[in-house]
């Protein structure tokens, strides 16, 4: 399988454009473009709300009160995008499939586990296999204080979580890998704090690219957004992710 690799680590976008680019890439894949792995950071610390969360619920988390806010098109809890690496994978699936694709979840998370083992420590595992009890309720405001079977935990702390949505025949899966502790979420120790090992985002991205490409049997080539994808992302950002009506819809 051919796949594109797009990195926006040293030249990050704001929250609205990050979410819009993910959507535009998924639309491209739905229309026949090659699969795309995107690894990125955020122009400034940003709080992303899950699609179904109430905007006013952010009052539960005063540490992030001063951050800009964007609402994702995927579900789950809120994420403080600061001391982390975000990824998205847009990949085509058979037209007959509907709902979540657990195989993609497992493939991506196993690649993250292998990357954590190579860079930091050997103890990352799926929450379902970890033997740890949840640290918070399933409906906690922050994603990293919730637990699902596919989440990755290290020493009882959630380090990575993902969400999916379908865009036609494409699956868009994006997620966050908590590398360090953010002042806007001091209750969440990142991988560096838990492991005692330095966790550089670019180095982590390099390892994850190699590991996930092998797992997907993908010939991954560095790429940039096409002109059409750039234009489409700007349209989506303006119409949806930058819109107060979208952000405050719940």
pLDDT in tens, the chain (250 residues): 899 999 999 999 999 999 999 999 999 999 999 999 999 999 999 999 999 999 999 999 999 999 999 999 999 999 999 999 999 999 998 765 667 788 999 999 999 999 998 887 666 565 555 554 445 556 899 999 988 777 788 888 889 989 999 999 999 999 999 999 999 999 999 999 988 888 899 999 999 999 999 999 999 999 999 999 999 999 999 999 999 999 999 8
Is 36 an active-site residue? no
Instruction: With H, G, I as helix, E, B as strand and everything else as coil, classify residue 20.
Output: helix
Domain that holds residue 52: 2-247
Indicate the number of domains in the chain. Answer: 1
The pair phi, psi for residue 232, each rounded to 5°, is -65, -40
Q: Taking the CA of residue 40 as centre, how many other CA atoms within 13 Å lie in the half-sphere pointing to its CB? A: 26
CATH code of residue 227: 3.30.930.10
Residue 79's DSSP bridge partners are: 48
Phi, psi of 198 (to 5 degrees): -65, 135
Of the residues 36, 143, 193, 199, which is catalytic?
A: 143
- pTM here is 0.92
């Amino acid at each position: 399988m051919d796949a594109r690799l797009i990195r926006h680590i040293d030249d990050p976008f704001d929250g609205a454009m990050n979410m819009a680019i993910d959507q535009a890439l998924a639309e491209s894949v739905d229309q026949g473009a090659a699969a795309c792995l995107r690894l990125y950071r955020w122009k400034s610390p940003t709080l992303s709300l899950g699609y179904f969360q109430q905007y006013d619920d952010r009052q539960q988390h005063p540490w992030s009160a001063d951050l800009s806010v964007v609402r994702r098109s995927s579900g789950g809890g809120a994420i403080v995008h600061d001391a982390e690496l975000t990824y998205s994978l847009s990949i085509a699936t058979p037209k007959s499939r509907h709902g979540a694709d657990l195989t993609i979840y497992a493939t991506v998370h196993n690649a993250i586990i292998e990357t954590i083992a190579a860079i930091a420590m050997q103890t990352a595992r799926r929450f379902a296999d970890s033997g740890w009890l949840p640290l918070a309720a399933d409906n906690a405001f922050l994603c990293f204080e919730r637990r699902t079977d596919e989440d990755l935990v290290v020493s009882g702390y959630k380090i990575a979580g993902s969400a999916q949505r379908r865009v036609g025949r494409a699956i868009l899966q994006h997620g966050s890998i908590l590398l360090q502790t953010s002042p806007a979420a001091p209750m969440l120790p990142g991988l560096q704090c838990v492991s005692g090992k330095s966790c550089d985002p670019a180095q982590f991205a390099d390892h994850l690219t190699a590991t996930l490409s092998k797992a997907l049997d993908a010939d991954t080539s560095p790429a940039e957004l096409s002109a059409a994808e750039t234009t489409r992302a700007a349209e989506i950002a303006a119409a949806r992710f930058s819109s107060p009506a979208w952000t405050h819809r719940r």
